[in-house]
């Protein structure tokens, strides 16, 4: 599942090939995008597929241990909320006995690109940036993610960078490709000065039109390539996170696969049962085993 500013999208994922196993289903993001209203949308998409099993969900803000810490482009009620628990509750039977993994949207897209897309096999520092409603970032070193980097909020000429250089800024200010590319170039130069990546992967809606602006960007040492999974990267990365959370769950005493979410039947909220440290992480970013080694 991918919670975005305009749509809540999802699909079952084929993790062997990093592709959607069925055509994705989308509902419009409610406005205001309150936790309850968004959770209803997530439920609707999951129900569309009649899915029961592990569920990975991306969120457009910082997520630590399942809790949302920022909400730049969604309702502020998310901040401080145990969003993973809320979503698991709302998903009820669909997630019963399975992990619900919640992670930042750009981190999810980055994971997918590093394993199946433009970053596959790349070592050193790789940074994925998504240019959409905001600017999202995912930073990797030798295939491992440093989660929640929030580079879209770097200050650029006294402004929050995403206010100047996101896809939405281009749209709102009706910027030509040339003018917008100049802003993106300044932004990339700033990020490069701080992190010296060998590769930038450019994602988000604009990655579909990469040929219109990437050739206009000059003076950046790092290689710059468009994301390959484009719109599907978030959903695929979310599925990877759900899979990692399941793999990290300790086996049940009877040897059956671990159930880390709610038990079948109501109540859907994860039971008080085992102490948190013994549960699969609700945010795969906090997994003791770390991320699946992307790019390998
Ligand atoms: C948020 C990030 C998110 C990005 C893209 C930013 O405003 O702070 O967490 O990844 O938008 O949705």
* Residue 72 CA, closest ligand 1 atom number: 7
Q: Same domain for 30 and 175?
A: no
- Structural domain tally of the chain? 2
Has residue 39 got a pLDDT over 50?
A: yes
Which of 98, 78, 97, 96 is closest to 86 using CA atoms?
A: 78
**DSSP letter assigned to residue 114:** H
Mutate to test the pocket of ligand 1, among 150, 204, 206 (most ligand atoms within 8 A of CB): 150
The Cα-based distances of 171 to 133, 150, 243, 263 in angstroms read 10, 22, 36, 46
* Residue 204 CA, closest ligand 1 atom number: 5
Residue 28 covered by a domain: yes
Ligand 1 centroid to residue 60 C-alpha, Å: 5
* Residue 62 CA, closest ligand 1 atom number: 9
Helix, strand, coil percentages (3-state) for the chain, rounded to 5, are 40, 20, 40
Which of 105, 4, 89, 81 is closest to 39 using CA atoms?
A: 89
246: CATH: 3.30.420.40
Ligand 1 residue neighbourhood (C-beta within 6 Å): 60-62, 70, 72-73, 104-106, 130, 132-134, 136, 150, 152, 162
251-264 pLDDT, tens digit each: 544 444 433 333 33
Residue 291 covered by a domain: no
Ligand 1 centroid to residue 12 C-alpha, Å: 24
The Cα-based distances of 286 to 97, 145, 239, 276 in angstroms read 20, 11, 16, 12
6-36 pLDDT, tens digit each: 899 999 999 999 999 999 999 999 999 999 9
Q: Same domain for 146 and 125?
A: yes
Which residue range forms the structural domain that includes residue 137? Answer: 120-228
125-154 pLDDT, tens digit each: 999 999 999 999 999 999 999 999 999 999
Ligand 1 centroid to residue 149 C-alpha, Å: 10
Residue 114 covered by a domain: no
Q: How far apart are CA 61 and CA 56, in angstroms?
A: 15
Of 228, 254, 269, the residue that ends a domain is: 228
Q: Same domain for 214 and 239?
A: no
Q: Same domain for 238 and 214?
A: no
Over range 256-274, report the average pLDDT.
34
* Residue 28 β-bridge partners: 7
Q: How far apart are CA 66 and CA 136, in angstroms?
A: 18
């Amino acid at each position: 599942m991918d919670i975005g500013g305009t749509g809540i999208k999802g699909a079952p994922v084929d993790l062997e090939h990093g592709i959607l196993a069925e055509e994705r289903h989308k509902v419009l993001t409610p406005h205001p995008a309150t936790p309850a209203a968004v959770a209803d949308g997530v439920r609707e998409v999951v129900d569309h597929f009649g899915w029961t099993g592990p569920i990975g969900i991306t969120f457009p803000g910082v997520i630590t241990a399942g809790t949302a810490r920022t909400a730049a482009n969604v309702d502020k009620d998310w901040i401080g909320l145990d969003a993973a628990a809320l979503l698991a509750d709302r998903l009820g039977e669909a997630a019963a006995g399975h992990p619900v993994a919640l992670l930042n949207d750009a981190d999810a897209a980055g994971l997918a690109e590093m394993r199946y897309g433009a970053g596959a096999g790349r070592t050193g520092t790789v940074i994925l940036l998504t240019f959409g409603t905001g600017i999202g970032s995912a930073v990797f070193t030798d295939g491992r993610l440093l989660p929640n980097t929030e580079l879209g909020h770097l200050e650029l000429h006294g402004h929050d960078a995403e206010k100047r250089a996101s896809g939405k800024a281009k749209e709102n200010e009706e910027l030509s490709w040339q003018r917008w590319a100049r802003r993106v170039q300044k932004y990339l130069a700033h990020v490069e000065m701080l992190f010296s990546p060998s590769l930038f992967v450019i994602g988000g809606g604009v990655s579909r039109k990469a040929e219109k602006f990437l050739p206009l960007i000059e003076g950046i040492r790092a290689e710059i390539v468009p994301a390959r999974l484009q719109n599907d990267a978030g959903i695929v990365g979310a599925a990877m996170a759900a899979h990692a959370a399941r793999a990290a769950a300790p086996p049940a005493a009877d040897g059956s696969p671990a159930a880390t979410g709610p038990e079948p039947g109501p109540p859907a909220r994860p039971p008080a049962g085992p102490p948190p440290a013994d549960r699969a992480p609700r945010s795969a970013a906090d997994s003791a085993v770390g991320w699946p080694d992307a790019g390998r």
